[in-house]
Structure 1
Amino acid sequence: MSLLDALVIGAGQAGLAAAHALGARGLQPLLLEAGPTPTGSWSRYYDSLTLFSPAGHSALPGLPFPGDPRRYPTRDEVVDYLADYAARLGAPIELDTAATAVTRVAGGFRVATTDGREFAARLVVGASGGFGAPHRPALPGLDGFTGTLLHAAEYRRPEPFTGKRVAVVGAGNSAVQIAAELAEVAAVTLTSRAPVRFLPQRPLGRDLHEWLHRTRVERLPLGRLLRDRTVRVLDDGRYRAALAAGRPDWRPMFRRATTDGLIWSDGVTERIDVVLLATGYRPRLSYLAGCTSVGGRPALDAAGYPAHDRGVSTTVAGLGFVGLEGQRGIGSATLRGVGRDAEYVVRRLAAGVRVATPVGAR
């Protein structure tokens, strides 16, 4: 088995940024992508999704996002951009190839995949991102609910829900956007533990991301402070107005689900056709479950989250991460942030690593 310079697990925005950073340092990466295209989770998001950051602040290193830099790109535009970026990258990508196990061995790592192959590499970057596994909280009674139960990851468009009674669980950007869209065709309640909190998308006439860039706030090492905090919804005014008009309405989190409905916090029981969980995602890092240092220290903690310092493993030498939410700052899991994080992680990982002759694997 030939030894690669680096192996990147994931070929979405995080993996492509990591491959670019590795190449800039003379290291030849191989990317493993579980899906059929090098576009990460973007091709699976709901149809109407648009970025909350303008095109001018939504690019990966080395390739500006096309078109007016002030516009807000759609999901399909992001998919096309990532596919173009991958084609220009010049790094080999193994599609439909998921990593199943990463093992630390002398001189580097051994990585097994779903098709039975194994790869060896000096460095490994886990870039499967922070959105690989939909989070489905254990809400009271929900396991006995016989109506339609789905996660936002399974939602595509509102038409199939026309005329239904729908409860959307969550208070983040996706929850509000999906609930407002569904409210055009259905009776919708947005329900969460705390009321929705908004941030103006264009304070003083400029996009919020422009202010973050100018003040350099987005570069501050706030990752650990920001992780798991309630996200404020970026809004140009339409979502606040929709909630104020009761389309959708908002209610505190329900007490419990019944077989055919919900018991609300005020004790009222109501029949519900659909419960849609817009409750976020967790990293998909199961391939690291058995990865330990030479001394036996695990790559993941008891909760399955990586032990790391700003994306560099604190337990397993040569292992890094790109694309985790709150990894280094407020943009770490976004198009605008993964490039900076990738450069930082690769710089630390590559220190002292001798460039190998690029080879394949069997």
Structure 2
Amino acid sequence: MTRSTDVVVIGGGQAGLAAGYHLRRLGIEHVILDAQAAPGGAWQHTWDSLRLFSPAACSSLPGRLMPIQPGETYPDARHVVEYLADYEERYELPVQRGVWVDGVHRDGTHLRVESDAGDWRARAVVSATGTWTRPFIPAVPGRREFAGRQLHTVQYKSPAEFAGQRVVVVGGGNSGAQIAADLAHAGIDLTWVTQRPPRYLADDIDGRALFDHATARRRALHAGRTDTGGVASLGDIVAVPPVRAARDAGLLTAKPMFSRLTSVGVQWADGTVTEVDAVIWCTGFRPALAPFAALRLRGSRGHITTVGTRAADEPRLHLLGYGDWTGPASATLIGVGRPARDAAREISALLGP
């Protein structure tokens, strides 16, 4: 069975909900297809100790402030999941769960969205699939030889599963620092390795300041002024309280990246080997864009070229929430609202009266 609607939004996490909010405000018929069985997007799959970079009031989707979590300045992932579930219900967003989208194809004046729950014909599509389902692990020599456990950020839950083990954490971003701090506070035998010395942002900078910086950069670029660099120009690691405490206690001393893995551990540039039981790869993600392969829009970097949120070579497709290339800070709760609004307005103009 094929159903028809004006807009199909693929993904029911924070970006998909923000898109749904603005489409609803404009009176545009739409459906949100989400592969997850429950609300909350990727937040329902994070590690136990994860905290937001910003206070609740500065971590909100459009239209509704995130309530304060009692006893917490920086809310945990469970609080975010509850907020997203409440947001979805409050605005009666048309989310269909457990729906896996297999592909998007051109179909005359429409786009056809194929899924395991049937097809939809839509006049426009918003891709809000995020990155969590596409973890990236670099091709380090010896990775297949290592006899210990290897896992990515997406599989890490808590230090309890590493009790009595020797663990290497790879990655100098926020996930690497937070997971390393989590293990260090628990007394795990930890080695933290990074490609370059860790770059901490000033202790008083949180997600709100980063969003303001990204917004100022966008305005400067639009005005033709010199690009002063994105958020990464300020540093790589937000010093949230657990990271700050571990750093200040001398528990987060990073070593340069090892040269290879061996069957028993990691080999350093000088040829020495450290035996370890597990390696946690906090090495980032790639955008989950497989459903759009048939449209042949991806460039050499794996991204789809966009003008704002609109795909440059397919005006019926908008991409939302992947990073600065789809809107300043658009992969954050506070940052996704503006590009979601812009996408909804462009779609409204495309659909016409």
**Which TM-score applies when normalising by structure 1?**
0.88
Q: 1:309 to 1:221 in 2, by over 3 A?
A: farther
Q: In structure 1, give the amino acid aligned to 2:332.
A: T
Where does residue 50 of structure 2 map in the other structure? 49
Where does residue 138 of structure 1 map in the other structure? 139
Q: 1:345 to 1:120 in 2, by over 3 A?
A: same
Q: CA deviation at 1:174?
A: 1.1
8 Å contact from structure 1 (residues 55, 65) kept in 2: yes
Q: Distance in 2 between matches of 1:17 and 1:149?
A: 35
Q: CA deviation at 1:287?
A: 0.4
| 1:82-111 per-position Cα deviation (integer Å, ceiling 9, x unaligned) | 011111222321111011000011121101
Q: Distance in 2 between matches of 1:322 and 1:214?
A: 19
Partner SS for 1:317? strand
Aligned residues, how many?
345
Q: Distance in 2 between matches of 1:289 and 1:327?
A: 19
Q: CA deviation at 1:210?
A: 4.9
Where does residue 65 of structure 1 map in the other structure? 66
Where does residue 125 of structure 2 map in the other structure? 124
Where does residue 360 of structure 1 map in the other structure? none
Is 2:177 the partner of 1:176? yes
Computed over aligned residues only, the root mean square deviation of the Cα atoms, in angstroms, reads 2.6
8 Å contact from structure 1 (residues 20, 61) kept in 2: yes
Q: Distance in 2 between matches of 1:167 and 1:215?
A: 32
Partner SS for 1:133? coil
Where does residue 307 of structure 1 map in the other structure? 305
Gaps of 5+ in 2: none
8 Å contact from structure 1 (residues 56, 65) kept in 2: yes
Q: Distance in 2 between matches of 1:181 and 1:81?
A: 25
| 1:159-211 per-position Cα deviation (integer Å, ceiling 9, x unaligned) | 110121110000011101101111223111111110110012425xxx56258
8 Å contact from structure 2 (residues 53, 207) kept in 1: no
Q: Distance in 2 between matches of 1:276 and 1:30?
A: 37
5 Å matches for 1:333-344?
333-344=331-342
Q: CA deviation at 1:347?
A: 1.4
Q: 1:107 to 1:59 in 2, by over 3 A?
A: same
5 Å matches for 1:163-312?
163-183=164-184, 184-202=186-204, 207=206, 209-210=208-209, 213=212, 216-217=215-216, 220=219, 226=230, 232-236=236-240, 239-240=243-244, 242-243=246-247, 245-291=249-295, 298-312=296-310
Where does residue 9 of structure 1 map in the other structure? 10
Greater displacement, 207-216 / 243-252: 207-216
Q: Distance in 1 between matches of 2:126 and 2:264?
A: 45
Is 2:22 the partner of 1:24? no
8 Å contact from structure 1 (residues 28, 91) kept in 2: no
Q: 1:74 to 1:7 in 2, by over 3 A?
A: same
8 Å contact from structure 1 (residues 109, 122) kept in 2: yes
Partner SS for 1:149? strand
Q: Distance in 1 between matches of 2:335 and 2:127?
A: 16
| 1:322-350 per-position Cα deviation (integer Å, ceiling 9, x unaligned) | 10111355421000011111011221222
| 1:297-320 per-position Cα deviation (integer Å, ceiling 9, x unaligned) | x22224432121221100112100
Q: CA deviation at 1:135?
A: 0.9
Gaps of 5+ in 1: 292-297, 356-362
Q: 1:229 to 1:256 in 2, by over 3 A?
A: farther
2:319 to 318, 321, 338: 321
Q: In structure 1, give the amino acid aligned to 2:286.
A: R
Q: Distance in 1 between matches of 2:141 and 2:286?
A: 21
8 Å contact from structure 2 (residues 102, 291) kept in 1: yes
8 Å contact from structure 1 (residues 8, 19) kept in 2: yes
